[in-house]
Each structure stands twice: as structure tokens, then as C-alpha cells.
Amino acid sequence: MRQGEFIWRRELSRCFIVVLLVFAVGFMNGCSSRTDKESPEAKAGKVTIVYAHPPCPPDLLKIYDRIFEKFRKTHPHINLRVLYITADYESKILTMFAGNTAPDVIFMYPNALPVWSSKNALREIEPFIEKDPDFNLNDYYPGMLRTFTYKGHLYGLPKDASASILYYNKEMFAKEGVEFPNESWTWDDFLEAAKRLTKRDESGGIIQYGAGPYPLFDLIWQNGGRVLSEDGKRCLLDSPEAIEAIQFKADLIRKYRVTPLPPEGEIAGVGSRREFFTMGKMAMHIEMYPAVSILRQTCKFDWDIAPLPSGKVRRGSMVVGSALAITTQSKHPQQAWEWIKWLTGAEGMKDLASVELPSYIPLAKSSWFLDPHTLPRNKQAAVEAMNYVYPPPEHAKWLEIGSIINREIESVWYDKKDVKQVCQELVALYKRDFSTSGERR
């Protein structure tokens, strides 16, 4: 499941009028008519909990529907109702909070946590863990737990986990005699392979790229830099480490021309960078693990995955994934805990393991997930990558900040500004607009 954008568009104090208007025109227009009804056997004494499910593709929704039914059968004392929200998930949940009709359990991405927590919308998870002798927090990736911890408290139980993964076309590598990517790869190895795998026609036009875009923030982290200071009060993009990392990405695009320019590069008729890869026009592609479900259907060649190369200072990839959280408006928090514990554990995640990397370590390391008969064959690479993840910058407005940074730095890719100039401008902009609104986890 891809990570969607979260924008807290209204303060709770400004939502009352909005709530009245939304409900007047039919709030549920934004939610699917497939909202589950109570089952016939939902008698007195059977506790009902509501889970707000986010938008997802039809194929994935079918898997979830089977999971919901399995939970109902194995937990007859709980009547699970699923609210299928089809768009604008966070805004609709916010409206429900304002109307005091919030669900018991919500779905949460890392960038949403600071805002939800600051509005006292979520319950701390630790009290449930302390009272549950059958639960072991060590069964979850430490990097995922850190990501959903805010100001010392855990607010979400991690479900699917992922770091950015290096996908590669094995046939292209074999044809050119290039060594397959592995855990010993560095930036230099990545660049050398990308050079050898980039192909040009007689006029010099590129007909095959060696590599897709490298995630900017991962490059900065791997080079020993940071985007923001730990307290969120300063932007650190003007540091030597950050400038060098950004220049490396610029060189991949402009100097060596092994990576396409956004958005369409130089190959006519090809859209997204993932399509470059799936159509056999690119040898390496970087994306989160759930992309495997798409590549299995679209790639007509043999492919596999490897960890991202190591930078000059360290390995690392910004964590992506999701968690389930219990709301403060839940009237049945203990039963809500049973639901999120089950869904994020071995039984709940078993069916999803075909398309997601489970946050539950015993399942991620099991033969059920690591099955080498399905692509990618080296699923262990996705598991190992979780040892090197780092949380997103700890700022309540990180989504907006990250979007601005990516937009402004595009001028470097198009050779309109130099790296140092753009970085200095971004540091000044951050100091003016965001430095007083940073919040630490």
C-alpha cells in the first residue's frame, strides 16, 4: 500500500461549521457504500468496533475483505465493522473527530503522527502492551517502532514495513556482464553499473537508462547529512554533506546522463520512471517493497531486488509503511487493541505477505514470506534493509517542507541553479517559515 499524503487542513477549533455543512449534504458521500453492516449474529453483549479502512486498489481490497472475515470468525465476541473510505482519508477522519463520531481504529502513515498526537486524537499503546502477557514488542522492527513513537510514547502498532529497495533487470546485467547488486555496493559501484548499462543510439540519444532517480533524502542521510536538525529548528541542507549528496544526484542526471530528467526524461512515449523499468528501458529502479505486486504483472523479464548502496558514511533509507492506531474516542479500546494486535501479527498479515513486507519479524523471516519461487527471489534483501531505516524528519509540517525542497531543487536537475545556491535559499526559507513550528518526537 503506497504511502499517501497527509495534510492537516483545519484546526479542530475551526471545524464545527464545516462539520455541520458536510453532514448536511451527506458526509458519507466520501465513504464507500460498502460500509459493513452489523452481522445478523450481533446480539446484545457483543462489542462493536469500527475500523476506518483507507483507499486501496481492488485486488488489495479483496485480500483485506478475506482478512476481515477471518477476524470475525476467530473473534466471535467482537463485531468488526469496516468503514471503507474511498478518498481524502485524513480529512474525513478529522471531520468525524470534530463531530465526536471517530472510529475506534484508524490507519496511519508516519507523517501523520505528529499532528494526530498533538491533537490528542490517539491513545498510547504502552498500557495495552503492559497488560498483555502474550504480546512481544521485540517482534516488530525497531525502526518501525521509532517511526511511530512521538515524545517518548508509542501511538501506532506497525503493520506493513518497507525501505526503498533497488530493483534490477537481471537480463540486462547478464547481457553486459555487470555484477548483480549486493550488500557490498557503494555509490561508486552504482554509478559504474549505471554507466555500463546506459545505451545510446547512433545520434547519441538515450535508448536505455542505467538507473532511475535516487531518493534525494536517502543520499543526504547516507552521506552523513540531515535535512533538518534533531530539534526541527534548523534546515541543514547547506552542510557540506548535504551539498555533496545533492551534487551526486545532479551528476547522475546532468554529467553522466545515466538517470532520466523528471518527469519524462529523454525516451519518447514512456511515462513514469517505473514504466521505464517495466518496459525494459531502464536497468535499475528504486521504490518501496509493495511495488512487487505491480512488477510481477507488468515485467516480461527476470528481475530481483537488492538493498540500496552504501553511502560514504552509512547505509540507510527513510522508512515507509503504516500503522494502526486506537483513537481517544473509542468506547471499546480493549477490543480495538485485540483487532490491531491480530491484524499486525502472524495471522492477520499472512495473506498480505504476498504483496507487503510484514512489520511482524517472525512472519517476515518465515518461509511463507521468503518463498524463492515467486519474484522477487531475494526477499531477504527487503528484510535486511529494515536494519538501516531511519524515521522521517520529526516535524509536524514535514510533508509540506519535503514537497517544497523537492520542487526547488528541481532547478538543479535542469541546470538552472547550482546546488549551493538552492540550498542556501532553502535554509533561508525554512528559517523564515518553519523554524518555530518544529516538534521533536
Query: How high is the pLDDT of residue 28?
Result: 40
- Claim to verify: residue 274 and residue 408 sit in the same structural domain: yes
Per DSSP bridges, beta strands 303-306 and 149-150 are: unpaired
- 428 and 291, same structural domain? yes
Taking a C-beta distance cutoff of 8 angstroms, is the pair 162, 379 a contact? no
Separation between Cα atoms, residue 288 and residue 299, nearest integer Å: 16
State the chain's mean pLDDT as an integer.
88
Q: Say if 242 falls within a structural domain.
A: yes
Asked if residue 399 and residue 257 are part of one domain, the reply reads: yes
Whether residue 214 is found in the same domain as residue 250: yes
Is residue 229, in this structure, part of any structural domain at all?
Answer: yes
235 and 314 inside one domain: yes
* Same domain as 331, residue 284: no
Total count of domains within the chain: 2
Query: What pLDDT shows up at residue 395?
Result: 85
Do 250 and 106 share a domain, yes or no?
no
SS3 at position 226: coil
Q: Are residues 153 and 117 in the same domain?
A: yes
In a domain, 2, yes or no: no
Q: Is 360 helix (H, G, I), strand (E, B) or coil?
A: strand
Q: What gap in Å lies between CA 150 and CA 85, rounded to an integer?
A: 26
φ and ψ at residue 357, rounded to 5 degrees: -85, 115
Helices 240-250 and 398-413 pack at an angle, to 10 degrees, of 50
Contact assessment for residue 104 and residue 49, using Cβ atoms and an 8 Å cutoff:
yes
On whether residue 27 sits in a domain, the answer given is: yes
Residue 439 lies in a domain: no
Residue 254 lies inside a defined structural domain of this protein:
yes
DSSP 154-185: E--EEEEEE-EEEEEEHHHHHHHTPPPP-TT-
Tell me the residue range of the domain where 229 lies: 164-318+395-433
Residue 232 and residue 330 in one domain: no
Model confidence pLDDT, tens digit, residues 331-358? 999 999 999 999 999 999 999 999 999 9
pLDDT at residue 271, as a whole number = 52
Find the CATH number of the domain harbouring 413.
Answer: 3.40.190.10
Indicate whether 337 belongs to any domain: yes
Q: Tell me the C-alpha distance between 175 and 302, whole Å.
A: 12
Residue 331: what pLDDT? 96
Say if 272 falls within a structural domain: yes
Local structure of 5: helix, strand or coil: coil
| Residue 179 pLDDT greater than 50, yes or no | yes
Whether residues 157 and 171 fall in one domain: no
Supply the pLDDT for residue 14.
39
Per-residue pLDDT, averaged over 212-232, amounts to 96
Whether residue 312 sits in one domain with residue 403? yes
* Rounded (10°) CA dihedral 212, 219, 189, 267: 20
pLDDT digits (tens, 9 = 90+) for 319-329: 988 999 999 99
The pLDDT-based confidence of 273 (bands split at 50, 70, 90) is: confident
Looking at the fold, whether 422 and 400 belong to one and the same domain comes out as: yes
Residue-wise pLDDT for 21-30, tens only, equals: 333 333 344 4
